[in-house]
Amino acid sequence: MIDAAREAKQPKGRKRATAKKAAPPSRGDVTFVSVPRPPASAFNKNRPAGCLIRAQLQHIAHAESARLPKEKRDGRRPEDIRTEAEAASYIAAVTKILHPQRRRKPRPKPAS
């Protein structure tokens, strides 16, 4: 009944499009996408920190103030950080304090 009502509303001569199902990809097919290397000029440690980095700085500062006593804090304020290099330095320093354990080296695989 519903389909008949839909067909009555459509102008004559036009049929409703139906979605065609694509064949599922066979196992083992891999699509490779080549990504070009960024130019050397793309790296600029003196670039002003953008909105995303500033938001990350706010989150790091909040974590620092919530988890560390005043004497263990880095002491820098996110508002004073201007460049991406300064932001990277601050984030690395606070992360090192908050996560003192070092990354473990993977065990060598036994020879077969």
The set of long-range contacts for 20-23, using a CB threshold of 8 Å and a minimum separation of 24, is none
DSSP structure class, residue 45: T
Which tens digits make up the pLDDT trace of 53-101?
A: 999 999 999 999 998 888 888 889 999 999 999 999 999 999 988 888 7
| pTM of the full structure | 0.57
Alpha-carbon distance of 94 to 107, in angstroms, equals 28
Q: How far apart are CA 61 and CA 90, in angstroms?
A: 9
98, 92 Cβ separation under 8 angstroms: no
Write out pLDDT tens, residues 97-109.
Answer: 888 876 667 777 7
